[in-house]
Structure 1
Amino acid sequence: MHEIQKGDIVVYSSKINRTINLGFVDGPYRHDFSINRSYPNIRPIKWIKHIPRENFSQAALNEIGAFITLFSIKKYSHEFLDAIEGKKPTERISASDIAIDDATITKAVALQAEETTQDFVIRQLKSGIDPYQFEHFVAHLLECMGYHTRVSAKSGDGGVDIIAHKDKLGFEPPIVKVQCKQITNSIGRPEVTQLLGNVEKSEHGLFVTLGSYTRDAREYDRSKPNLRLIDGEQLVELIFSEYKKFDPKYQSLLPLRQIYVPSLKDVNG
């Protein structure tokens, strides 16, 4: 059994911004209730890298996602060590590899199965289509939700990629102006304010990204009732809810099938 030592490398997967955080133990153990009474056992960590999940193979993500406590990474530790040194993974798992591994996915716990599917969907939307095709994908998703949409030309329209509306002609409010970012990094407040600068008082702004948003962007969103930010995790949830209505070409891009996993609520009582 390994006892944690100063200098040991630490890998932490964050569900908040979908990043893999890499660092090392930077000091001795201490017992301290002042920070969080529920977790008084503390080891200081110096974080040095914050890398999008898509930079790692699905197998490596599965290994660190299947546990909810401290453990030693065995099979795919080289990927995280390479990331610390600034190297790219030497091997990437393709969509077909993930599909073949259905047996492993269905045996995983509910949270792991959900996270694996989210990773797959976001990876496909990031690498399987170009940015302009991503805009058309988001427009199609909105159409499945009952909107009529118009996608702007590739040259852009002042930060507005899609115009969505409920009526066929686009005269009746609310008009929704959408900006799409096919990136997995965090979107800051400046990008969000740029979109809202093109939104009239009677209109709504919708920002869609595969990544996440900074705290400033989220706070700005909460202060603007006509603004909505959709991050990668929320986008995947919308995809799940509308998937049966998708055009075959988008179902081909995202080949999904329904599986049943244990309900954590029922299991835990």
Structure 2
Amino acid sequence: MGRALWGLHMSNAHGTAPIDQGYITIGWPNMGDLTKLAATREAFKERFKQVDTVAKEGAVPVKAGVLYRFAHEMQVGDLVAYPSKLDRMIHIGRITGDYQFRPDAPNRCPHRREVEWIKHVPRSEFSQSALHEIGSAITLFSISNNTEEFMATLAGEATGANDVDDESVEEVSTQVEESTEDFIIKRLKSKLTSYEFEKFVAHLLTRMGFFARVTSQSADGGIDIIAHKDELGFEPPIIKVQCKQTLETVGRPKVQELHGAIETGEHGLFVTLGTYTNDARTFERGKPNLRLIDGPGLVDMIYNHYERFEPRYQMLLPLKRTYIPGPSISAAE
């Protein structure tokens, strides 16, 4: 059976030292010498919970698993691929040493293994699929889906990876978009109270050119925000907004309740982090003065007006403008 192929991320703070000096290293210095722990995942998880008391429950097995793999599952002779952000190269090497604990190591990364670096390959030489796999959010992981491509690259064989695969590009782009959308929705759900969410929506409306005020929490009659075009609120249209900080599906009855609170000449806006049933959407289509905004729709509105957000909301949703591959546009278009 062939040797394992690992992917590893290291901090930019190391500079070129790992390549120049022939090693790989990871952090979590408070874990101490990993050889002092029982060689079981449970022992590593228990130790991790002791040294990181604020770690979320779901993160413990992931991070403890990285340390366990580095100390026990990695073997001399295994291959490792390190994507460096400093030089945009993927460095491929062979592990030549057992686990070492170096408490005086720089950058608070005392866990180390010696590596013989064999090949240094530009990222552009790899397919989008391989780049996506090597871009894992986990520090140490097994490369399994694109092993043949990495092995062919190591052997100096042509892989055809320079040919742009439109389907792979579109898949990666979609994954980036979906991940960002998930991040925004989860933040709005977990970092705000329901009342703070209403204030966030009101802030978004002000950035869209409306004057908006959040109604009293105790007696809002199902209306959370009143929005209008003029400062005094006399100029139509008057928009009554209901906010639901839920990830669940909103049905037609809730939508009808909002519409029932709308008077002649007014408009209704329902905003949720979740989705709507087909019945609710059908009801919306029959009411020209009603608009339903779901989670993805809210994210699109945030994108359009994000640069004008107050700093506190940009801190809540730290986003960076970037470009990702999109669908091809023909000359005729």
TM-score by length of 2: 0.49
Tell me the SS of whatever aligns to 1:118: helix
**How far is 1:264 from its partner?**
2.1
| Structure-2 residue corresponding to 1:213 | 276
Task: Choose 1 or 2 for highest CA Rg.
Answer: 2
**How far is 1:92 from its partner?**
5.5
Q: After superposition, what is the alpha-carbon deviation per residue over 1:162-199, rounded to whole angstroms, capped at 9, x for unaligned?
A: 00000010001000000000000000011001111110
Q: After superposition, what is the alpha-carbon deviation per residue over 1:17-73, rounded to whole angstroms, capped at 9, x for unaligned?
A: xxxxxxxxxxxxxxxxxxxxxxxxxxxxxxxxxxxxxxxxxxxxxxxxxxxxxxxxx
The one-letter amino acid of 2:280's match is A
Q: Distance in 1 between matches of 2:233 and 2:211?
A: 8
Q: Does 1:186 align with 2:249?
A: yes
Contact kept, 8 Å, 1:163 with 1:177, in 2: the verdict is yes
Q: Distance in 2 between matches of 1:223 and 1:92?
A: 46
The one-letter amino acid of 2:176's match is A
| Structure-1 residue corresponding to 2:199 | 136
| Structure-1 residue corresponding to 2:301 | 238
Q: Distance in 1 between matches of 2:207 and 2:59?
A: 32
| Structure-1 residue corresponding to 2:230 | 167
| Structure-1 residue corresponding to 2:31 | none
The one-letter amino acid of 2:305's match is E
Moved more, 194-203 or 227-236: 194-203
Q: After superposition, what is the alpha-carbon deviation per residue over 1:56-114, rounded to whole angstroms, capped at 9, x for unaligned?
A: xxxxxxxxxxxxxxxxxxxxxxxxxxxxxxxxx96169xxxxxxxxx658x97111111
Q: Distance in 1 between matches of 2:180 and 2:207?
A: 21
Tell me the SS of whatever aligns to 2:291: strand
Q: Distance in 1 between matches of 2:259 and 2:206?
A: 22
Tell me the SS of whatever aligns to 1:133: helix
Q: After superposition, what is the alpha-carbon deviation per residue over 1:219-252, rounded to whole angstroms, capped at 9, x for unaligned?
A: 0000000000000000000000000000000000
Tell me the SS of whatever aligns to 1:241: helix
Q: Distance in 2 between matches of 1:127 and 1:92?
A: 16
Q: Does 1:149 align with 2:116?
A: no
Trace 1:1-269 onto structure 2 (pairs within 5 A). Answer: 91=58, 109-266=172-329
Identity %: 55
Cα 1:236–1:149 shift into 2, 3 Å: same
Moved more, 148-157 or 216-225: 148-157
Q: Which runs of 5+ in 2 are unaligned?
A: 1-55, 61-134, 138-168
Contact kept, 8 Å, 1:110 with 1:264, in 2: the verdict is no
Cα 1:124–1:220 shift into 2, 3 Å: same
RMSD (Å), alpha carbons: 2.3
Task: Report the number of matched residues.
Answer: 171
| Structure-2 residue corresponding to 1:84 | none
**How far is 1:259 from its partner?**
1.5
Q: Distance in 2 between matches of 1:156 and 1:213?
A: 26
The one-letter amino acid of 2:234's match is F
**How far is 1:208 from its partner?**
0.2
Tell me the SS of whatever aligns to 1:109: helix
Which stretches of structure 1, 4 residues or longer, exceed 4 Å deviation after superposition? none
Q: Distance in 2 between matches of 1:207 and 1:167?
A: 21
The one-letter amino acid of 1:176's match is I
Contact kept, 8 Å, 1:139 with 1:162, in 2: the verdict is yes
TM-score by length of 1: 0.60
